[in-house]
Chains A and B, each alone.
Chain A
């Protein structure tokens, strides 16, 4: 019985996160359009896209891995969701976070990336492979400031358990990591820009020169799966940053608001800055953001 309740809450949470992801994507696109003096699409467009893709009847496949790629990708997104505590203090909304701590989440992010890379690889399209090689290369550099920030907060809170990190930030904004450890937060927020794939770190998807990077060959249901994943992933990664740096959430409203603003940070920066080439973004990430991350640790060693 207990397990059924648990599964019920997990599924419900997943539905909420997915829908919030789709709505948020619509809102963000509307905002981007307005900021560019365009009228923009309807905020229901992500739903329409998803519906359309799942309904397309003519589909092609390149082989087994072509199937498995999107499955891996979606498993990656859903998996992070499954291991992530959502609402602080609520046993029901903590998902399966008892199975592992922050280290599990950090490493599980690779699960989807790897599967996507392989699936796209079997598509045989050179642009897919180019996109993946860029994505992986850039990701190594994105991880570096994040790792430093994680180690910094692990020193600060003496734990790698997300629930306990959130617990330590309760009691007002003055206890948020944002305030108590601004350097780590800054480093991690720069990493977040990379993780979300907006400018200046969006050469991976490269809408102009490589029609559209890794998912090039994907269409129909396959693309639908990828879009589903993206909706989940954007929210859940924002939730991760929220848990680590912005005091977590004690209810759904708080979660929705905080995840929106965290995600919006990457959109905002993306609107303002042009795109890096991959080697430029790597070089940049390995300089200032890494230095900030190092400082975030050094202050604890002094």
Chain B
């Protein structure tokens, strides 16, 4: 093993040599610098390997040949090896990234850079307080040197502010170190630590000074104006060094020194970190300047790591997993983001649209954003998960809540930014600067993220590596994205089938899971078939489609809460990208993401309440805690953001309507069932029929009924066909919530019937309408009309779809209505039930509007050449129609075995439905779907035959051959009655659809932005004010402590 002191030697040596070299030998000097950094990387890496694979103990390196405390000693342990590797790697990548700038700034810059990297290496390894101080100072001065490379007023001003702030902090540190030495007679950390029972009087103050200066070094909120100004001013390449290298060093120093302060200091660091994380993310919400935004985000992530540090005593052996996961994500992602910022050179986040010129970079940008937001498969997901779970085991719910709120704030700006990059038009004149020297660091760090994610997933207790296979599949598809769409589509279908076949043996026999699996997998196949109609490459679609389906199947497969959440987030991620692909979807996708994340965090909070006092992660723990009402309510609300319950629905219509034609059925017919599945698991976990949550379920029942009513009313007033269907989905998920909230056997049978039906007819309708939209190029129904002759297949499938939707016998929608009536009567929820039935009649309004406005009435001139929709759209529709027919004729095929499953002792043992052959009966009534279908079918055929015979000589005329009130029709546009069709209805009941929810959320949005904007005013830009902030902060913390 190479002595790590040689890292210092090599870096320092190359720095000196590079400083000495003349301008003409600059190439040699920079190779020397690379060599030194590479050497350092290799040394750190060999140590890390030895620690991990050989399990050797940490090595102590004594300098000057004398033992501490008389000399300085360095330590190389697992943490040090890992962090110096990260620092040196970032140094090497950073040097390459900055090489162009350095060639302009001159050789001195390289020298300063190497000194900086060296100093941080020492800061990490040293065990001597004074040595720490010295190398911190060396690092700070080097930093200022780098800041000054920007030779203008802004650069000098920022550098000067930095200098003053760091000086003040250093002064505190030095003072503290002096007092520590005075009290303990040693400067060696280990010696001081070994003198237990010493935190008293003056030593406490001394340690306070040391530790508070280390905390301030981390640029804690809100006394970090000096640092933010630096971030905003410097070259992003240097920004990445401040965030990735210097920040890492400072954090590790705090980690190293924190044991000195004892339990109290852990708490302080936790609280300070929490305030920093939440506050910094909050003020970042209204930030548009990229560099400053990155600064806020860096500070926030440092805050998160401080929380992990502060929680170290609580999380025990998981500390390295937690801190490592969070650290690795933010380290790689933040460096990558800074580097991208430098390539783009746009001060505004909107300029990032230029990334689309290089899709690889856009993907990596996505990686970085997702890693920061804590999405799987990146390491931060596992770190955050374990942090939350361990905090939960310790009952630290307030901390968890604050963490989750902070994460939500973070998501606001991260996903706004990502959305802008994906959707906004590319600004004039912006170009992407991607020389290889800048490209490879980004590529390397981007690739390391999923790799790190895999490693951390292996370390996380309760995680099954099998789940990562689907992620690997999606990544592989990403690499194959240059292939034609049909090949990738086939691969996606094959992958889906393969995954489903692997999962099936696990869930065989669990009919509840099987039903949802059929919806997810069957729906996936049908909608992917429609995808064959897309020509070209369709880049960026398939990896995310498979990710969404993998997430959905993962939900079914999940064995514990971690796996469930992992799958939930994968599904959210995949569907987010699918949604944002729609033409006008930027805002809708952001809404979707924020509501989904808000939901996911509520689920997280519910889970943390549920696992308190237990050791397991079993799914059956959901909602079973000391505070069952809270945990059930939080989990239910989390799932309801996905099902778009009234009030949480505002993201849905836009997201579903603007999505591509084959994506709408995916996200509407299929994806929404994930929320229903979550509710099913939750409600079963709390004891099925024997649950003790009746008041809460009663409230959810009302919420379901109101959602059904509101959704259908809003659907009736839409002009956009896809929005109409989207609002109808809101309503239908309301029905489903209502049914499951009954918590009775028949209610659940109704809930499942509704779930299956909604999947069938909504996928069918969205496919059919999507196909028509493809052909006509508009979503507006009043612009269509009379298309029955152009797209007869679509007409037939829509007809069947709306009959099913409306619950008209003999199709399967009626099964749901019949079960509903009986469930309502049995449960006694009469008024909610009436509201739901009333909502059902309103569905007729939009069903009619949908089919009439598009297919009937007067045909427009410009649509007379519309062709039938692509056959790839027809095939899945025909299959769905067949499925509807089978389910209509023989509902018992599914409902009888489902009834047996639900009658299990811990579910719903009171089964009121008896099946006598094909007749289902309860004490209140009976119904035989097959007989009904036969009676109606025979009658219909007879009557049709009779009419055909009677009017066999009827003459066929064109649609325009009508006369009304002595007038001839003027144009199809003026004769087609469609726009504002239910104006009279709006006059009567329109007050019920006032956009209260939208106004509320807009208000929340406005208030958040305004407050964040006002909060930012604390950063005056004045260096003196910043110093006052720093000192005031120290005084306040001091007063709070003593």
Per the CB 8 Å criterion, the residue count for chain A at the interface is: 84
- 9-residue interface stretch from A41-49, A66-74, A166-174, A192-200: A66-74
**Which residues of chain B are within 8 angstroms of A19 by Cβ–Cβ distance?**
none
User: With an 8 A cutoff between CB atoms, is B327 at the interface?
Assistant: no
- 9-residue interface stretch from A23-31, A121-129, A254-262: A121-129
Bound together, the chains give a CA A300 to CA B1005 distance in angstroms of 46
**Which residues of chain B are within 8 angstroms of A225 by Cβ–Cβ distance?**
943, 947
User: Across the two chains, which residue of chain B brings its CB closest to A126?
Assistant: B977
**Which residues of chain A are within 8 angstroms of B969 by Cβ–Cβ distance?**
126
User: Across the two chains, which residue of chain B brings its CB closest to A75?
Assistant: B940
User: With an 8 A cutoff between CB atoms, is B397 at the interface?
Assistant: no
Q: Contact at B818–A114, with CB atoms within 8 Å?
A: no
Bound together, the chains give a CA A277 to CA B919 distance in angstroms of 44
Q: Contact at A75–B925, with CB atoms within 8 Å?
A: no
Which residues of B in the span 780-822 have a Cβ within 8 Å of any Cβ on A? Answer: 786, 788-789, 799, 802-803, 806-809, 814, 817-818, 821-822
Which residues of A in the span 264-301 have a Cβ within 8 Å of any Cβ on B? Answer: 277-280, 282-283, 286, 293-294, 297, 301
Q: Contact at B936–A110, with CB atoms within 8 Å?
A: no
Interface centre among A62, A159, A293, A301 (most CB of B within 10 A): A62
Name the contact of A107 in the complex, choosing from B809, B830, B956 (C-beta under 8 A). Answer: B809
Q: Contact at B976–A126, with CB atoms within 8 Å?
A: yes
A116-153 vs B, Cβ < 8 Å mask (1 yes, 0 no): 01100111111101101110110111011001100100
User: With an 8 A cutoff between CB atoms, is A102 at the interface?
Assistant: yes
**Which residues of chain B are within 8 angstroms of A38 by Cβ–Cβ distance?**
none
User: Across the two chains, which residue of chain A brings its CB closest to B806?
Assistant: A110
User: With an 8 A cutoff between CB atoms, is B962 at the interface?
Assistant: yes
A217-B848 contact in complex given A134-B984, A161-B925, C-beta closer than 8 Å: no
Bound together, the chains give a CA A10 to CA B220 distance in angstroms of 85
CB of B749 to closest CB in A, whole Å: 15
B905-933 vs A, Cβ < 8 Å mask (1 yes, 0 no): 00000000000000100011111100110
Bound together, the chains give a CA A121 to CA B977 distance in angstroms of 10
Bound together, the chains give a CA A241 to CA B61 distance in angstroms of 97
B952-992 vs A, Cβ < 8 Å mask (1 yes, 0 no): 01111101111011000100000111100110110111000
Bound together, the chains give a CA A68 to CA B824 distance in angstroms of 35
Q: Contact at A133–B982, with CB atoms within 8 Å?
A: yes
Bound together, the chains give a CA A100 to CA B933 distance in angstroms of 11
Interface centre among B802, B956, B962 (most CB of A within 10 A): B962
Bound together, the chains give a CA A160 to CA B841 distance in angstroms of 19
Interface class of chain B by DSSP: helix
**Which residues of chain A are within 8 angstroms of B978 by Cβ–Cβ distance?**
129
- 9-residue interface stretch from A52-60, A85-93, A245-253: A52-60
Name the contact of B927 in the complex, choosing from A67, A104, A121, A130 (C-beta under 8 A). Answer: A104
Q: Contact at B962–A123, with CB atoms within 8 Å?
A: yes
Name the contact of B809 in the complex, choosing from A68, A104, A123 (C-beta under 8 A). Answer: A104
Name the contact of B808 in the complex, choosing from A114, A141, A278 (C-beta under 8 A). Answer: A114
User: Across the two chains, which residue of chain B brings its CB closest to A134?
Assistant: B984
Bound together, the chains give a CA A148 to CA B501 distance in angstroms of 48
Q: Contact at B924–A158, with CB atoms within 8 Å?
A: yes
User: With an 8 A cutoff between CB atoms, is B1019 at the interface?
Assistant: no
User: Across the two chains, which residue of chain B brings its CB closest to A297?
Assistant: B830
Bound together, the chains give a CA A146 to CA B22 distance in angstroms of 96
User: Across the two chains, which residue of chain A brings its CB closest to B944?
Assistant: A71
**Which residues of chain B are within 8 angstroms of A123 by Cβ–Cβ distance?**
962
Q: Contact at B939–A79, with CB atoms within 8 Å?
A: yes
Q: Contact at B834–A148, with CB atoms within 8 Å?
A: yes
Q: Contact at A103–B817, with CB atoms within 8 Å?
A: yes
Name the contact of B959 in the complex, choosing from A78, A108, A124, A220 (C-beta under 8 A). Answer: A124
A61-B940 contact in complex given A101-B927, A121-B857, A151-B834, C-beta closer than 8 Å: no
Name the contact of A79 in the complex, choosing from B851, B936, B976, B985 (C-beta under 8 A). Answer: B936
User: With an 8 A cutoff between CB atoms, is A302 at the interface?
Assistant: no
Bound together, the chains give a CA A173 to CA B848 distance in angstroms of 42
Q: Contact at B984–A118, with CB atoms within 8 Å?
A: no
**Which residues of chain B are within 8 angstroms of A111 by Cβ–Cβ distance?**
808-809, 936
- Additional A-B contact list (10), CB under 8 Å, known A98-B926, A147-B837: A75-B936, A118-B852, A127-B965, A133-B849, A137-B845, A151-B824, A160-B825, A216-B964, A221-B950, A278-B988
Contact residues of A with B, CB < 8 Å? 54, 57-65, 67-68, 70-72, 74-75, 78-79, 82-83, 96, 98-104, 107-108, 110-111, 113-114, 117-118, 121-127, 129-130, 132-134, 136-137, 139-141, 143-144, 147-148, 151, 154-155, 158-161, 211, 216-217, 220-222, 224-225, 277-280, 282-283, 286, 293-294, 297, 301
Show 15 residue pairs from A and B whose CB-CB distance is below 8 angstroms, ordered by the A residue: A61-B954, A75-B936, A78-B939, A99-B935, A100-B925, A100-B932, A101-B926, A110-B807, A118-B856, A124-B858, A140-B985, A144-B841, A160-B822, A211-B964, A280-B988
